[in-house]
Structure 1
Amino acid sequence: MHDDRRKREVDADIDHDVASVLYAADPASFPAHACAIALLAVVYVAYEGDGPLPLFCVLLHGVAICLAIGLWSWRWRRPSRFGARRWIGLHALRNVALYGAPGLSAWFAFQHASAALAAAHIVLLVALTTLAYAANALNALNLRSAMVPLLLPAATLHVLQADNGRLALGVALLIIIVAVDLLASQYRDVHRDLAVARAEQQRLAQIIARQKGVIKEASIARTRFFAAASHDLRQPLHAIGLLAHSLADRRASEAEREATAQHIVDNVEALNHLFNQVLDLARLESGVTQAMPQHFHLSDVLARIEQQFRPAAAAKGLALRIAPTSCVAFTDPVLLERVVANLVSNAVRYTERGAVWIGVRRSASPERCFVEVRDSGIGIAPQEHELVFEEFYQAPLAGRDRREGHGLGLSTVRRLTRLLGGEPMLRSAPGRGTTMRVPVRTGDPSLVTASLVAAPVMSAFIDGRRVLCVDEDPANLEALGALLTRWGCVVRGCPDELAAVRAISEGFVPDVLLCDYRIDSHQTGIEAMQAVREALRRRGHHGLARVLITGDMASPELAALVAEGVPVLHKPVTPTRLRRTLDVLLQPRSEGHEAA
């Protein structure tokens, strides 16, 4: 399909070039045809015995030239009136009339006994053939519509009156027609190759121009990102420094010290929140954040959101309304919760009175529904709708406190929603509140394995499984081992690759490998994973589930691991996230295939 489209584009370019060349050559041909008319008039009209026919032929040639000049002028004035193909076709019709008049006039040469007159007429026709080739060789239709009316009548008359060497001349004229046509065909092939090369060169130039544009935009965005991040990081640090000096002032009262300490706490929280948002955005940008879909009740996510934001809404006197729903989703519940949490956080932050409504709306398609967050807040102007999704962009609002937001929430929402396979939708107007919709794929109620709001329970998928943990930090190994043991797992902790391979040689065959990315300065967790898999393969064991835990934001190795479908969990990893990851990996294929 792509090749057909490229061929159509090349053909269109060639047609445009041919039409331009055909009409560009016309002005130079008009004087030549005028000279041909003059010669015909002098030679044939002077003979009184031929009657009015020579005069009619001369007039016909003159009319044809006038039509040709009119067609050329029309295209010069209104080139967009027709497409290239239509202009080429009109030019071919013009050629039939323009070259047919001198071609038919060959009949008059046969009415005279003078061989010199006939030879001179043939010379004139051959000269016009040269002109026809020079002006029309790029198009077969135009070349033939000129040569055939010009030479075929003379060739036919010579062949039919095969005396005094006329047969040989007629055959020669036919050979000229064929030879010129073949020569023009080769010329057209060369022109097409050049057109294809030029089109490819233009395509590459466009790609390079687009890539340069993308690089330029990325550079501008990076500069804006670092400038904004530097400003927003310096603001709370600057405030903390000043507040710390105030706190050390012995002349301050106890109440003033408490207020100062609270301001420090507020700025530290703002700084911590900004760091978390920047790290989240960096993980999304690096492409190592993975979506691990599972079937769950959307009401569970909404209940967690309600529990998280009801105190903040109540403190501002806002009603937080959660619409009941029975919808089941098939997506990553953790990432979806982060999306909805960002939306609700914005709604609570920028709503001074009224309510924040959260619910699920059905879609026209049974395969999709929408999580909707609506508020009665200040709203967003239409010209800001696209801008608010950019990093560090904040719509201009009077009296905004920089600690209330950093312009990363909606950018994270858009990236996470795209990672989940959708696009966030915004509907808002100043003073009329804001509505945000996030599309969610619907799931199967029969495949829901656990509640997201209930206390973590041991699933049958993980109970009794053998887990090999590789981490050079003894504290991490101890904590991870204790957690997995409480979940009913049989755990073996190893500080490096050699210890892990030794554990396998001693008979410990793991179902799951949990490996830290940074083991030591000379080895990564990916190498340890490969060594463990090879050790198991030599003993005939396959089907090892792998999970990599890392604090790195971006790495080509991590991206390659994600592409293989290996879960990459970024520190700090919560027990809930780890348990859900293991549940998805250890589900039987009949149940977990879709979730994988």
Structure 2
Amino acid sequence: MSRPEDGALDPKKLRLLSHFGSAVALSSLLYAGFNWLMGFFPGILLMVGNGVLLMVNQLWLPRLRTQVHYNRLAMAQTTICFAAVVGVTYFSGGVQSPVIVWIALAPIAATLLFGFTAKTIFWLTMTLAAVAAFGWMPSVGVHPPVQYNGELTHLFFSNSLFGFVLLLFVLTQIFESTKNQALQESESRNRELRVANDRVEAAYVAKSRFLAAASHDLRQPAHALGMFVARLSQIHAERNPETLERDGSAALVQGVTASATALQELLDVLFDYSRLESNPSGSTLRPVNVNDIFEQLRLLFANTAASKGLHLRIRPTSLWVMSDPVLLQRILLNLVSNALEYTPRGTVLVTCRTSAGGSQASIQVWDSGIGIDQSLHQTVFEEFFQVENPERDRAKGLGLGLSMVDRSCRLLGHPLVLRSQLGCGTRFTVTATATPLRPANSGGSATEDLSATADVQGANIWLIEDNILGGQALQGLLQSWGCRASLFDSAEQAHRAALVGEQPDFIISDFRLPHNQNGIGAIISLRNLLQRDIPACLITGDLEEDVKHQAHQAGLVLLKKPLQPAKLRSLLRRSLKAPASEPTP
């Protein structure tokens, strides 16, 4: 394992060491000249030697590359200074020497060069030991010589003290200058980081806007493709089976259908991801019937589980939670889909039970599948990560599912817990706040009843859609169901048709229409003009919560693009059972 001192050398420390060595070397040479005036020849030799060795050490500075090399050279410089001061102190009278105060240079130098570390403690100990040794020398019969002109002791002492104070001041300024330079560099880097962070934030916002815009635009051709494929499948089903087998069109149609389905599933993932990107600040929580979502899961995954020979058990529940119904549904869709994908045999169980004394509801998805290794429990929530898909097979998805589950749970404030071991299955637990509240109209959504038997043949359907390709595709699908489908590219065109006496049985309108109009206004206008509460629905590729809110306020069913034909047909069947009533005032 590498140590911190093995890392690259900080240039600021290199400058500090250079300035320290130069200052002390210059002081040593000046002090050698003073010793010559004092007739202190041992001091001359020691100070000159100290200065020369420090200057030689300076030659090694350009070769320093790591912190280890720095520590070695700094320790060598401190040792040279300490040895020179101790020698000068000994030959000038020991504890009574005028220069004994210079011994403090060692711990001061260590503090500047190393900071407050074990090395500094070492040199402080060495300094105290040297002072104590000089103090005990006379007691043990050792008398250090005085090899300078004793008549100039007062001058020697005053100049030594003056030199020490001056050197201490210079070293302090060197340290302060180095610190200020480091602070300036740090502030400069912080400014650069802030600028870079601002650029990242701007790029993130631009990416979110792009995803939101692209998701809306991609929904239009995907919506048209779905309608064309549904029509193609219907034409294929009406043909003679022997002819289909002979010309190979059966396999061709199945391939086109499978490709369109896979494309829509991938787009759904991207759209959900875009929704999270475009709404990172939070989501509006309201009472959600968990059992409604469970029923949708049962309908969506029953065939998938049966085709793999798995037991899909979804236990009914009477619990309601405070959540976002769309996000919560997508969370559970991803978890159940993953459970079925990675369970080769056995059972997938979905339950909801109270916890924390009834104040919380724990929604759990269990499976008896391959499990997840403990080392991957954090990695599985990263974007584009997939267990057992190193070849990045897109037939197995994009690897965004669990990432969106994690982000959605964080957005909703729903704790997410993963428990799994390799080969022992997996359990995901999503915890939400349980609530006794119920919305005023909780009888179910307008698209839940998939068992309606009323047919749509002969119904007069008005379709208001400014996207020509998507409109023609949906018109063709409606006509294949036996409906009389009229396509209008604007609300004004539909309004003119109503003025000449035409009467629709059902209105399908895109939300965004030309001339800053929307489908809600178009539907209300037609109802008022014809004096009938005509059944209607909206279709849209928008992701904004405001669109859903407006549709809800208007009492209209909102279907998102790419449109699922089965959902639309189910809505038409149910809505056309009863005749339209007079419009509500």
The TM-score normalised by the length of structure 2 is 0.49
The TM-score normalised by the length of structure 1 is 0.48
Q: Which has the higher contact order (CA 8 A, sep 6+)?
A: 2
